[in-house]
Amino acid sequence: MPRGGGTGGADGAGLGAGGWSLVAGGTLETMGTKTLCLLLLSAAWMRCDEKYSGPVPPKPDLPYLLQVKKLSEVEIGKARQERRKDDTVSIIAGPGSSARTPLPEPIFILDARELEPQKIELFRLEVKDGNREVSLPNKDHTGASQPLHLRITPLGGHLYKIEASEMLEEGEYALAPGGDSRIFCFEIY
C-alpha cells in the first residue's frame, strides 16, 4: 500500500493516498474500459492475420458451397430473359437445383480470377410452370425481387468467402454475378 495509508480522495474513489489513480485524471472504471477496448482491437487485428486453411475450389470463377469441410458444386446455368409488362424476368430451366444444402445461411468459397465478388447478387427464385424464375430489378431499381444481402470476405489471394447475411427460408436461390451471363443456383431444404 502506498505511503499515507489512505483509500483515496474525498469520495474514496482513488487507489491510494492523496487520490492516486491509474492515469492522470482517470479512474479504475475508465482504465478498465480503455483496456477492454484495446484487448478487443488486438483480438480483431490478430484474427485478420489468420490464414484460410479450408478447402480451395478446384475451378476458378465458380462459387462452391462449403458444407462441413468440403466443397460442393453449385448448379451452373444460363437464364433466358423475358420481358413482362414493366419487368425483366430471368427464367432457369427445371423446377429445382441439383445443388442442395440444409444450411439457412449458406457459405460459398470463390476463387475469383475474372468474376468480381462485390458484383454478385443473391436472389430467391419462384417455381412456376416447371421452371425457376425471378423478376429482376429495373435500371431504376424497381421490380418484384430485390437482391438479398451478402457478406463478402477476402480470404487471401483470389479467394473469397460469400455468405448470406440473413437466414434464408427453404426454397430455390441463385447467385447472379453482374456482367456475366451465368447464374449459380442452389436449393435450401
> In this predicted structure, what is the pLDDT of residue 135?
85
Are 138 and 131 in contact by the 8 Å Cβ rule? The answer is no
Locus of grid cell 414493366? 86
HEC sequence for the chain: CCCCCCCCCCCCCCCCHHHCCCCCCCCHHHHHHHHHHHHHHHHHHHHHCCCCCCCCCCCCCCCEEEECCEEEECEEEECEEEEECCEEEEEEECCCCCCEECCCCCEEEEECCCCCHHHEEEEEEEEECCEEEEEECCCCCCCCCCCECEEEEEEECCEEEEEECCCCCCEEEEEEECCCCEEEEEEEC
Other Cβ atoms within 10 Å of 62 Cβ, number: 19
User: CA 44 from chain center: how many Å?
Assistant: 17
> In this predicted structure, what is the pLDDT of residue 160?
97
> In this predicted structure, what is the pLDDT of residue 42?
64
> In this predicted structure, what is the pLDDT of residue 34?
75
> In this predicted structure, what is the pLDDT of residue 41?
67
d(CA 124, CA 66): 19
Q: Name residues of the chain where pLDDT drops below 70.
A: 1-31, 41-50, 137-144
Question: Residue 68 — left, alpha, or beta (φ > 0 → left; ψ -120 to 50 → alpha)?
Answer: left
Are 88 and 179 in contact by the 8 Å Cβ rule? The answer is no
